[in-house]
Amino acid sequence: MKASDYASVLEALHNESALATHLAQQEVLTGPSAEFCQVADCDMPIPEERRQAIPGVQRCALCQTRRERSKA
C-alpha–C-alpha distance, residues 59 and 70, integer Å: 15
Q: Where are the domains of the chain?
A: 1-30, 31-72
What percentage of the chain exceeds 90 in pLDDT? 47
Residue 62 contacts residue 44 (beta carbons within 8 Å): yes
Q: Is residue 59 classed exposed, middle or buried when 0-12, 13-18 and 19+ CB atoms within 10 A define those classes?
A: buried
Provide the whole-model pTM. 0.58
Q: Is residue 60 classed exposed, middle or buried when 0-12, 13-18 and 19+ CB atoms within 10 A define those classes?
A: buried
pLDDT one-digit tens code per residue, 8-22:
888 988 888 877 777
